[in-house]
Structure formats: structure tokens, C-alpha cells
Structure 1
């Protein structure tokens, strides 16, 4: 029997299910006249003086950011560079991507660049910078920015890129329809970045989350195809809670087992729960899940999307029912409850009277060499794969999922160094959905994992005696992991969609593994930076017994 449970509650739009942020997208960025760069002396008069800047040259000086002049940040961010670079070498090129580059003081980072990409499609990578793994954090519900002891910049030279054209501070008219065209845009930009900052022959690592599960494999595959280590020496990738396969596999087939596992969180009544299970059975999701989420898998998966109907849309039904019980339900981190936290990026769609979106402020835009007056939003309301229109039906990313067409396979086999994570509190891209997509992929001569990563080795995050109270992280055993044929899959039990935000110690450790700073996720050892620049001067204190045991 087919139950139309998706008709019980109004549907949210399917176009934003994999958006990587909130479910109603902010207004489209406007493009003001190009900002005239301030003079070099104005921009660098207070640039950090503790060492000679690594990358300051005549070519890069217009991008220099005053480390003590970023609004509301009351500590020195050190050396960094931000601005626009074109996506090609054409003299009349009008399309430009925006970046913010943070060199690292870590000696091991000398010949590497690590790139961070948020998803969407159409969301800014400054989400990750400001609320996940950047050197300063301004997370939802907090009063002001704080230093981030788990900043990826502590490990490696970090490059945050807003892309494709149409996102954030980027300039030009969007004109792509697929990931191959996006890759060409990105490679043109990155080649200009390499030439500008003289970072030729640097190892490149790609990191990101959500829809970056498309971006990273396609961009990585493009780098590999160039066969040019002067510019495109890809060495590895960290892909967090990604969409890499068919969205029916990743967001529908696996929903009811997730609701059952977290039944005390969703807390649905018996009637609704029974209706969900009947729909799961009627749509053949139960048998599909039981047969194909196995290790090793039985063989190539049949196309379940061809029989999918609106009546099978349990994701929307669950989401809307959860909102009835918990009006502040957050599918990116299902443990969240009210009150709704205000967000300086407007990611929660709640901005109190008098509050402003941080990167939409003129003073912030001037400080980072952006076009002053840009109507910056964290996610574009225009379709970046549809010529900037709001048409998501006829114009969208036409690329096949990278786990289905050999793109992700080639990146794994070339680098032997891809790490994919799944946060078990993520309902947007659930862990089992990602695993199901991977089990339908062949790499290294075999299909899928031969053993279940969820039963793998323990994922260990080092204990640390110091912390910044504005940016803390757990330690000890946080999940499980398994590596087979160059691909590692790791689960983190108490993380949501954004691993560096919800489990920053685990994200930091994962990046250490990808960079080769530690052997694997199970090694019992300190962070590689724990006795060096781990805190980067943040206010820290000893963790006391009273801090740990409530009521003592």
C-alpha cells in the first residue's frame, strides 16, 4: 500500500535539500561598482610585525589584509590576503572569484596549499571560514568573534575560495551548467593565484563539505588530467558529509532507519512512525537498504530513482513533522532545540533587530578588499548553474554524481589519500546515505568497502590540557574509521553536517591524516601542533576538575 504521507504536511522545495545551509535561501548578491583598492601603506600600516610576511610582494600587496584591522576581531589575525582574481588569462575576462588566503606559520606547510570549499550549490566558502575552521570564529548565538585553536591554518596554508561565479563577492555573470565547466573556471582562477603568489610546485589538498562532494572530485579530476605538477599537484582530499551519489540513495532510502536509531530525539508518535515504515516498505526502501548496504555489496545497484514518486518522499515528511514537535529542529544537527540562535551569517534565517550580516557590512568589505556595497549573502538565491536565474527545474547542475561516473574513483586511485566523513547527527546527508552511495562505486578493482567502516577502528581525538573557552572540542574516542584501497571513511557520533563546527578536534585530526602529519585516525598521540602553535596565542587556561565535574 502506498501512503501519501508527504501530502500530510506541506513540502519544502527539493532544490535546497543539498544546499549545505538553511532551507530558504537569502537574496541574490548585488554587484556594486568595483571598489578602488586602498593604498599599500593604508592597508599594511598595522600588519603583523612578529615576522616578515611570507608572501608580500609587489604583485600581492593590493591583496594584503591588515591583521589588526578586521572589524570586531580584537586580536591579530596575522598575515592574510584577500581579493578577486579572474578565472582565465583573457584580457577582457569579467568573471572573477573571491578568495581569502591565510599563510601558516607551521614549518611543515611550506610547500603546500589546502583549499576549502563550501557547497550549496551557491553557498560561500566563508561559511567555513567564519563558523568552522578559520582562524577566527563567530558561531551562531555567540557575542563576538573568538580565536580558533582548531583553525586549519595552524596546520597548512589555507585558501578559502568563493565559487562558482555568482557566489558571495565573485564578479561576473554565471554561465555554467555542469561541473566540468565549473572545474575549468576554478583551474583558471587557481593558475592565476599560483602565478600571483609564486606558489608553483606546491602540493594541493582539497577540502570541503556538502555539495563540495561534487566540487572536489570534479576539480580534483581536472587537476589530475592536466598532468602539470607546477600548478595542479593534487595530493589528497578531505570531503565532509558529502553528496557524491544519487540523492534518492543518500536522502530517502536510509531515512527510516535513522529515525528509528534517534527515536528518542525525533519523538514521533506511534501512528506517524507506523506510516513512515509502511511507506518505507511500499517504496521498496526497506529491502533495498537491507540488501545493498552490505559489506561487501552484492553487485551493481538497480536504479531506484526510476520508481521514486512523491508518495515516497519521506525526507520532507520527517522534516516537517520534526518541526511540529521541535520548532527549532535543525536537520544539519538534529539535537538542536529552541531558542533559535541568531546567526551573523543569517544561516538560521533569524537576525535580531539591530544585527547585521557580517560580510554584508561596508567596513568588513573594505577590510578584505571586496567590492564595497556588495549585497553579500551566504547562499545565492540565483541558480549558479542556471545563468543566475531562479529556475532550478530546467537549469541546474547537469553533471552525473561523481561516485557513479568514475570521477571520484580516479581521484582516489591517483592520490591514494581521500578521507570522507559522516556526522551521525546529520539528517541532510545522513552517514548511511553516503555509505550507500560509496557501496555502489568501484575503485581499486573492487566494488565498495569489503568491511563495514561503522565497525572499524576507533577514531581517536587527542586529549588537550588547554582550551579557548570560546572554541572548545571533545577528546577521546569520537567515532569509527576504515581505510581500503586509498579511501578512508570515518563516522563521528556527535557531529552534525559541519564537522569542523560540531566536532572541531575530529576535523583537525582528519586534516592531519590527509596532510600526512599523523599515520591514521586511530593513532594515540598528541596533535602535531600541540606543543607549537596549537593555540596561536588564544586565551587559554588549565582544565580543572571543577571545569569537568558539574556541581563540585
Structure 2
């Protein structure tokens, strides 16, 4: 999810790599330096744990194997625990093997937004192996989990988010990227069977910032590894998917106004208010955002833009009626998706089983405040997104059409503004129905390696509302194809 300023809204079955790479072998001189490490085992609270210390990065992974929590499909392994980088910097992860053909299935990660919101949201409320149905206090298997197709990795970043704990040095999207890359380097060293797999990065909301920057950083690191200036494992990035993303404030603050007046459900503001907010956008918000970019993004200018645009547009509209900014069809106290997973994860028995060492916090304010202090929210990642599309990987931009906070009006305008060889053709295309087994689930258009999709009847967390559509578009994108109707 994306925070509002001033408002907090919110897998080959190998039970242990030791069997594949014994400690007596893993540090031999003929083992590449970037995968060398020391492995040890211990028990805590009666739970057996594995520790892997990655020689190249100095990172340490400490995790539990097959906790029995969430994924209960027979023969499907899972791993949960921490990557520690530096002193007292502990990043939580939960990894699930694919339910089908895990030994050959691709690898994908899902990151929630915020900034500072846990990816356990995505795991339990959206596309993970289990979910909570009708407010149940315990989870059940999700038949539309994305690990039906891919090995799935969920990461709580930056540190301080979700189960992650310790010192958080991250203050922006740009400074967050190296930590996730370091995590993946240690992950590949611990689980080398996934090193050469096709890799997909999927994210949502503030992921409109995370997705382009992280993908771009991974590709730049791949280039550095290829030319010998950096040691590490190539990340075989084939796909980037972002739903309901916050990409470009100049485009998307204007979209708040237009969507509020002319969405397909019900108007949230009147015609006169639309005119008034448009004038305010032009006279105050837009100049502040331009100042943020024209001064090469100084922190003070971008902080000012964030507060100006929130106070003049985002805040007033979002508080102008009783609607949920993540699903305008519902009142502001909307109980869906159910938040019962939070109390479940805060249970001491569950925490012990999965190896969690800190209390779960869904969207703590501390990481958000650090991003806010650099004005990160007001910075555009449209140019970075364009370079990722230009690189040739499959890119999917999609959005549930009932979401307000990162609505599809803005998402479509961003997609039409992406600069790549097919820009003009893409922008000129009209969207047509996107179907799943003949049933319309939205409207879409594609050109080259870029796909855009509006999903009918879905709020901010698309996979919760339309899981069948979401699984189909995930599979198609991971197959390195533009999306297509079935």
C-alpha cells in the first residue's frame, strides 16, 4: 500500500542446502568466491535453524526450514528467517517453493510498498500460499497463490518493516536498492539451485518507485559483474510487474482530481470542485513538484512539494467523504481485505515456529518518516521506468479500477508516457477487453514488451479482489510475454 502523508493506512526439493553443498566443500578454493560461505546449525526455542555466512558480502542468513505455517501442501518446502547485513541490520524473508515443478520453475519476489509496509501483506492478503477467508482466525490454502507457478520470495524492506528489525540506514528508494541486491546475492549463495532461473520482480503501490529503481539497479550490477568491476551473481531479470503504482507525482496528483470526478463507480467530488482542485493543482502543487525536479531534487524542495500537494489536493479530497482510499466502493472503515493475519503473526507460537525475532508491525511510521525526510514521495521514477522498458524485459503496469490512492487514471497516463521504441504506437492504442477463459476481467493494451491492464472490480490489492485474473497475468509476464486474453 501507499501511505498518505499524515495518514497511516494503511519454491528440486532440498530440505537443506547442506545436502547439496557440504561445509567441507563450500569453502574450497575451486568454489567461486561469490558463493562461498560457512554453514552451521543450532536450535532456539526448540526449533532447528540454519545459519549461512556469505563470504563475499559479509551477510548472514539465519532461517527455519519447513515451519508448517501457511504453506501446507505436501512436499512443498518453505524457509523463513533473516538476512543480517552489517551490525544490527536484520531483513526478514519468507520463501516458498513452487507447488508445481519447483526444480525448474522460475523465481519471483513480491515487495509491498508504503514506504515501510510489510510484504506479509502481499503474502497473506494477496498472492501468497495461504489466506484468511471470511475473517477466519487461521489461514487456509490459497488456490490462486503465485507459487502455483513460481518459487516465491517475500522480503520485508527496508529494515524496521514487518518482522525486520535493527538499524535502518535507508532514507530513499535509491538507497534501498543495494540492500535488496545484497539480500539476493546471499540468497543465491545459500540456494544456488535458483541462480540461473528466470527472475521476476513484482511490487505494488510505492512499488512504482521501488520497481523501476530496483530493476535498474539489478541491471547495472549485472553489467558491472560482466565487465569485472563487481563480484556477484547475475540476476536473470526477465520481468517487472507493478500494480497500482506510485510512479510520477506530476501525473498522478492530477489524476487524483480527474479520477475523483469521473471514475466508473461514483463521483467523489462535484464539477465545481473538480475545477477548483484543477486550478489549485496548476497554481500550487505543480510548481512545487517542478521545483523538486528542477533543483535536481533537493530534499527541502521535494519535502515541500509533498506537503503542498498533500495539503492542497490529496488530503482534502481523501477526507471529503466516507470512502476507502484503497477501494472507493467501500466506507472508510472497510474491513477488507481482512486484517486477521496481523494478530496471527503476532502470536508467540507462530513467531517461534517461523523464526521471527521481533514483533510484527504492518506499516510502522519510522521507515516512512525517513523517506519523507528526503522528499522521496515527490520524485518521479518515470525516466527510470522508461530505461527498464528500453532494456527489453517484460514490463506489466496494472491497476484495480476501484483504487483511489494509486488509481488507474494515473497508471494509464504513466504507461502512455513511457519513453521506448513503441511509445507512439502504445499511446495511440485503445484498450480492449482482457479475458480469463472468455470472461472479461478488465481492459488492456500492449506494444513491444510493455503491457497495461485495468482490472475490473478490484481495489488497491488486486490479487485479493481478482485472484484468477492476477494469477493469469503473473504467469504470462513471467513467461516473458505481453499479456493476452484466454
Q: TM-score, normalised by structure 2?
A: 0.76
Confirm or deny that 1:113 pairs with 2:111.
no
Confirm or deny that 1:238 pairs with 2:217.
no
Aligned in 2, Cα 1:37/1:112: closer, same or farther, shift over 3 Å?
farther
* 1:72-110 CA distance string (max 9 Å, x none): x887694211000124xxxx5431211110001322761
* Aligned partners of 1:124 and 1:378 also within 8 Å: yes
* Aligned partners of 1:100 and 1:160 also within 8 Å: yes
Confirm or deny that 1:80 pairs with 2:81.
no
Corresponding residue to 2:44 among 37, 52, 57? 37
Aligned in 2, Cα 1:407/1:481: closer, same or farther, shift over 3 Å?
same
Q: Higher strand share goes to which structure? A: 2
Aligned in 2, Cα 1:181/1:357: closer, same or farther, shift over 3 Å?
same
Per-residue deviation, 1:153: 0.4
* 1:436-487 CA distance string (max 9 Å, x none): 23334322374693324xx323211127xxxxxxxxxxxx111111112321
* 1:1-28 CA distance string (max 9 Å, x none): xxxxxxxxxxxx95267x7x42xxxxxx
Aligned counterpart, 2:259: 258
Confirm or deny that 1:379 pairs with 2:363.
yes
Per-residue deviation, 1:140: 6.7
Per-residue deviation, 1:314: 3.7
User: Residue 185 of structure 1: SS of its match in structure 2?
Assistant: helix
* Aligned partners of 1:426 and 1:495 also within 8 Å: yes
* Aligned partners of 1:114 and 1:204 also within 8 Å: yes
Aligned counterpart, 1:189: 183
* Aligned partners of 2:160 and 2:364 also within 8 Å: yes
Per-residue deviation, 1:62: 4.7
User: Residue 482 of structure 1: SS of its match in structure 2?
Assistant: strand
For structure 2, the residue ranges without an aligned partner over 5 or more in a row are: 11-41, 51-59, 227-232, 287-303
Aligned counterpart, 1:150: 144
* Aligned partners of 1:212 and 1:243 also within 8 Å: yes
* Aligned partners of 1:383 and 1:396 also within 8 Å: no
* 1:288-310 CA distance string (max 9 Å, x none): 99xxxxxxxxxxxxxxx989966
With 212-221 and 272-281 compared, the bigger mean Cα shift is at 272-281
Backbone CA RMSD of aligned residues: 3.7
Structural mapping, 1:97-496, within 5 Å:
97-107=91-101, 110=104, 112-138=106-132, 141-142=135-136, 144-198=138-192, 199-227=194-222, 228=225, 230-246=233-249, 248-250=250-252, 252-262=253-263, 265-266=266-267, 273-283=270-280, 313-323=312-322, 329-337=323-331, 340-341=334-335, 345=339, 357-371=343-357, 374-384=358-368, 386=370, 394-397=373-376, 400-403=379-382, 406-444=383-421, 446=423, 449-452=426-429, 455-462=430-437, 476-496=439-459
Which structure's relative contact order is higher, taking Cα pairs within 8 Å and 6+ residues apart?
A: 1
Aligned residue pairs total 419
Per-residue deviation, 1:424: 1.1
User: Residue 222 of structure 1: SS of its match in structure 2?
Assistant: helix
Q: Distance in 1 between matches of 2:113 and 2:310?
A: 28
Aligned in 2, Cα 1:504/1:157: closer, same or farther, shift over 3 Å?
same
Q: Distance in 1 between matches of 2:422 and 2:237?
A: 22
Q: Distance in 1 between matches of 2:373 and 2:403?
A: 29
* 1:481-513 CA distance string (max 9 Å, x none): 111232111111211111101111111111011
Q: Distance in 2 between matches of 1:320 and 1:339?
A: 13
User: Residue 426 of structure 2: SS of its match in structure 1?
Assistant: coil
